[in-house]
Amino acid sequence: MHNLLVELDERYDPQRVALEKRRIESAGFDIAIHNGASDRVLAWIDDTFGGVWSSEAYAGANVVVSRANGAPVAFATFDARGLQFAWLRGVAREEGVGLFGPFGVEPSSRRGSIGRAVLAIALCELRARGYRRALIGAVGAPELLAYYARETGASIVETFEIASFVPRAPRTVLLASGSGTNAQAVIDRVRAGLPLDLRAVVSNKANAKVLDRARAANVHAEIVAWDRALQSRAEYDATLLERVASYEPELVLLLGWMHLLDGRFVDAFPELLNVHPAFLPLDSSRDRVGMPDGSEIPAFRGAHAVRDAFAAGSRWIGATVHGVTLETDRGPVYARKPLQVRAGESEAEAHERLHIYEHQIVEAAIKRWLYER
């Protein structure tokens, strides 16, 4: 992987912005520059480009190209602040260096000049903010390296192996209460090279299928069930904390875990990620979230998100991996993905399709956590 550096010279002056805007508008598109981005744009980014870029777009300013009906076509983020990726701890922190990216154009519009125009405008905006150079981070594909070199004169300034940022696989415990499809996805990805040291799968259900999945993969499986006749809630929570702590985890993943954790548990394991079957807003204080088609739905928090979405007649559901706090499903978002409900589709059918998205964003969120440590 490579970090690229672009010199923000006279090529990126205000006249260039005006020229590129005219080109976009003459092609029948609208263009806007915003600090942050609208919910619709952020949801479209997750729907189109995989589920993690919206957080970066949310942290920066954005050039957005849309059709006349408001549907986004392309975007470029610039001057994102507060990102913690390991590859942004070198040249990216030097004085006069501004961040460019992420950057994306929908597949059907990639053959035209939209991408070139959006790229140029974002670099012009960085120069207008006083930056002398732009850093384009973590570029790996040869065709992208060639594209940036051709369009901007970008040169490689840092080269690194992504794996070097994770010198040791962190000790990890999975908590799950049901069939364990997300746990299986994590186990499979660890076998394929995802750097986690899976210490245990813990379930609060003695008959949970996730336990069989763990045993089949030679991962230690433990039952920590709550016998309400013998234990108070506080006693059970203390037992759960003790058992999970015995594995000394650096990361705890809640993958379909159906027991509300108490404050002592959350305090003991600050690196705690949960997969939730709803598309949650990046602003955790909000109770509604915009979708790629411009509609808005409730942020379906709680134990029955898909059921609640169907009961409300929502045309959208989704999945989110977020950090866990004492406020239910309001922790920081690591990855998310929306899913449109098909006409006549049952709740079970939609949930089955959603599992595929959950598997994708769980892996994406783990990687983000690893590279932001």
Cα end-to-end span (Å), the chain: 19
Residue located via tokens 């406020």: 327
Q: Give yes or no for a contact between 34 and 64, defined as CB atoms under 8 angstroms apart.
A: yes
Phi, psi of 337 (to 5 degrees): -155, 130
Please give the Cα distance from 99 to 85 (Å, whole number): 12
56, two tokens? 């970066």
Q: Give CA 173 to chain center in angstroms.
A: 21
Q: Give yes or no for a contact between 66 and 32, defined as CB atoms under 8 angstroms apart.
A: yes
246, two tokens? 């015995």
60, two tokens? 């920066």
3-state secondary structure of 215: helix
Please give the Cα distance from 205 to 211 (Å, whole number): 9
Q: Give yes or no for a contact between 201 and 223, defined as CB atoms under 8 angstroms apart.
A: no
2 among known catalytic residues: no
Handedness of CA 15, 37, 45, 182 (dihedral sign): positive
Let me know if 147 is exposed, middle or buried by CB neighbors in 10 A (0-12, 13-18, 19+): middle
Helices (H), the chain: 14-26, 39-49, 53-58, 114-128, 142-152, 181-191, 209-216, 233-245, 263-268, 305-311, 347-372
Phi, psi of 193 (to 5 degrees): 125, -5
3-state secondary structure of 320: strand
Residue located via tokens 């940022």: 165
- Catalytic choice (2, 34, 220, 276): 276
3-state secondary structure of 109: helix
Phi, psi of 348 (to 5 degrees): -65, -40
Q: Give yes or no for a contact between 182 and 256, defined as CB atoms under 8 angstroms apart.
A: yes
- By annotation, the residues acting in catalysis are 276
